[in-house]
Amino acid sequence: MFDKTTILEFCKHWLDAWTGNRPEVLLRFYSEDALYLDPARPRGLQGYDELRPYFEKLLAANPTWVWEVVEVFPTEHGFVLKWRATIPVGSEIIIEHGLDIVEWDGEKVTRNEVYFDRTKLLAALAKQRR
């Protein structure tokens, strides 16, 4: 098990990489064969060849969102992260809370499962498209 201080330090830098439309920086936090799942990709994406285009599109669409650590729970193979996201959608600001289940080798994420309720976010996106 990893200690909370190490996990929190990693999460600070990793979550910062989700802001600013820097997909190559974000990819450096993942192993080359990492598995990534989120509500938009529940079957998952595996490896840089699948992650890169997804991260490029996702970060380009959300360059100013901000992710913050709420709490971490060390596990045998990594940690569970409770987070808070501030997501600008047009003139609206959406606040989301969720969690990631992360398998981690101490340097790179090998598996990342993201869970949150996208209802508010999808509604705001739909309003913006009208």
Task: Name the CATH code of domain 4-129 (choices 3.10.450.50, 3.40.140.10, 1.20.1270.10, 1.10.10.10).
Answer: 3.10.450.50
**Cβ neighbours around 81 below 10 Å, total:** 24
Give me the pLDDT at residue 122, please.
Answer: 85
Residue with more model confidence, 123 or 56: 56
First-to-final CA distance of the chain: 48
Q: What is the pLDDT of residues 18-54, one digit of tens each?
A: 999 999 999 999 999 999 999 999 999 999 999 999 9
Structure tokens belonging to residue 98: 């969720």
Q: Which pLDDT band holds residue 123 (cuts at 50, 70, 90)?
A: confident
Q: What is the pLDDT of residues 69-92, one digit of tens each?
A: 999 999 999 999 999 999 999 899
Sorted by where each begins, the domain ranges of the chain are: 4-129
CA distance 47 to 112: 12
Is the pLDDT confidence value at 120 over 80?
Answer: yes
For residue 50, what is the enclosing H or E element?
Answer: helix 48-61
